[in-house]
Chain A
Amino acid sequence: MTQDDDRQISRRGFLARAAGGLAVAMTAGRVWAPQDVVQAADRGSDGPAPRITRVARPLDAETPVEAFASYLTPNERFFVRSHFGPPAPGQIDEGTWRLRVGGLVERPLTLRLQDLRQFEEITITAVVQCSGNGRAFHRPRAPGVQWERGAVGNARWTGVRLADVLSRAGLQASGRHVHLQGADRPLVDKIPLFVRSIPVEKARHRDTILAYRMNGEPLPMLHGAPLRLIAPGWMADACLKWLTDITVGDEEAKGYYMETAYRYPNRPVQPGEVLKPDEMKPVEAMGVKSLIVSPSQGAMLVRGQALIQGVAWTGEGKVAKVEVSTDDGRTWQSAKLVGEDTPYAWRQWEHGWHASEAGPCAILSRAMDDRGNVQPLTSPWNPGGFLWNGVDRVRVHVKG
């Protein structure tokens, strides 16, 4: 690793992380706290807001779909999900932050951020998506943050393999689940901690990483500074932020956020049905999905040639095809996949369209992957409103 990398890992302080890549403006004696950064970003006076706030506190904010015209989603626009908000600064200060690896291992570890240098550094480009992205589209409505289209992003994640860290600790044969906990804490003791676990097979996958950089910058505060898990191809309920504890166990983690939340039915259900937690399984891999980035919702187009553009991704496997309809689903044409093609990242696509008829028009996009999965018109309803991957729809108007 270069000296510059050393500096980035070991000496960039809390403020740099809090700013998340934005220039840090400091007045005498006043330090920008993460909430200040968020409020500045949401101010719409100089153009479209970087994020659309769904819940102000703790912050849940999604990306306007127009921003996905950029292959990599910039850090300050990347969606933010919090159960409790970021941890108190003292909890993630580089001087005191430690990653503890324990449980069913031969050699428990306590690592400082600079200790991660002993492991091979890798970078992967991967889509990270909230399991509740699109929840607002389920009918009947499910409880929870009513995300629409933008609780997703594509970024370059740099870090070390979780497999290498687990090897150093020496996984015991009885270890079947890797439990994850971060430094974020609820306001009230009665609220359960956000603790989840992933099966050891996913934990030991060569592409599952402990990430400390996002798009080349130290992992920003809102995105899990100083370290988060990236489980590529899986929903972000596995991608724990502000990571502090990795504990190997022989069972799934206990607690609300693993046993009750982030689960979906293991059988078909009727909309509105009430299920018990043991009739549900943890949300893991993403489904195949696409978004129309351009034109925007409500756009006014002139008659003639138009370019429809978007992105598409899937969980396991790769995007095989994207189709577009400009007559609200009556007929479909193949779009062209363009740009980079790497595992776990999204594909960009485009489709030339001759908008010949004036009037309102609904454009749909539908992706399919190489495992035969295709976006449905509406995703199967589930009590948590997870895993929405219905075809995307944008309503535009063609001027006469």
Chain B
Amino acid sequence: MVIAIAISTVGFASLWAGPLPAQSDSVAQEGALLVQTRCVICHSEDLVTQQRLSRAHWHATVTKMMHWGAPLSASEQKVLVEYLSSRYPPDASKEKNE
């Protein structure tokens, strides 16, 4: 009975949520979750979210964090770098005090 309710609830929810999430949506969700659960072990989120870095630079930064103890698997690193690169790319603004 409980399992039936659980399955029907999941089915119901996915009907209401619309089409299956695109790859980028699940990367966004998983990436955000990784920041909120792994990065914050040592420092608050704001240290991450104020950066504006290239993909290569994000990759190097996350690699350094893993050397310093951030618990991330290789596949989680991929997702996190993908997320951070698209969410926090290099700055478009040219001038300070904008």
Contacts and interface: CB of A to CB of B under 8 A. Distances in A.
Interface in B29-74: 41-44, 46-47, 50-54, 57, 61, 67-69
Contact of B91 (A55, A57, A139, A393): A139
A188 B38 CA distance: 13
Nearest to A55: B47
B43 A141 contact: no
A140 B54 CA distance: 10
29 contacts: A53-B46, A54-B50, A55-B46, A55-B47, A56-B46, A57-B43, A58-B43, A60-B47, A139-B91, A139-B94, A140-B54, A140-B90, A141-B51, A141-B52, A141-B90, A141-B91, A143-B51, A143-B57, A143-B61, A146-B51, A186-B68, A189-B69, A190-B68, A191-B42, A191-B68, A191-B69, A390-B96, A393-B97, A394-B97
B60 to A, nearest CB: 9
Interface in A135-188: 136-137, 139-141, 143, 145-146, 186-188
A202 interface: no
Contacts of B91: 139-141
A321 interface: no
Contacts of B52: 140-141
A395 interface: yes
In the A-B complex, list the 4 residue pairs whose CB atoms are closest, starting with the nearest.
Answer: A188-B69, A137-B96, A56-B44, A141-B52
Contacts of B57: 143
A294 interface: no
A55 B43 contact: yes
Q: Looking at B42, B54, B61, B97, which has the most chain A CB atoms within 10 Å of its CB?
A: B97
Given A139-B94, A141-B90, A57 B53 contact: no
Contacts of B61: 143
A71 to B, nearest CB: 25
B46 A190 contact: no
A286 B57 CA distance: 27
B63 to A, nearest CB: 13
Contacts of A191: 42, 68-69
A297 interface: yes
B50 A146 contact: yes
- Contact size class for A? 20 to 34
Interface in A31-75: 53-58, 60
A128 B67 CA distance: 32
B47 A187 contact: no
Given A55-B50, A56-B44, A141-B51, 10 more contacts: A56-B46, A57-B43, A137-B96, A141-B91, A186-B42, A187-B41, A188-B42, A188-B69, A190-B68, A393-B96
A54 B45 CA distance: 11
- Contact size class for B? 20 to 34
A248 to B, nearest CB: 29
Contacts of A394: 97
Contact of A190 (B43, B47, B50, B67): B67
Main secondary structure of the interface of B (DSSP, over half): loop
Interface of B: 41-44, 46-47, 50-54, 57, 61, 67-69, 90-91, 94, 96-97
Contacts of A146: 50-51
B42 A187 contact: yes
A200 to B, nearest CB: 31
A190 B69 contact: yes
Contacts of B51: 141, 143, 146
Contacts of A189: 69
Interface in A348-391: 390
Contacts of A60: 47
B77 to A, nearest CB: 16
A188 B68 CA distance: 7
B54 to A, nearest CB: 8
Contacts of B42: 186-188, 191
Interface in A181-228: 186-192
Contacts of A54: 46, 50
A186 B67 CA distance: 14
Nearest to B46: A55
Contacts of A143: 51, 53, 57, 61
Contacts of A137: 96-97
A193 to B, nearest CB: 12
B88 to A, nearest CB: 10
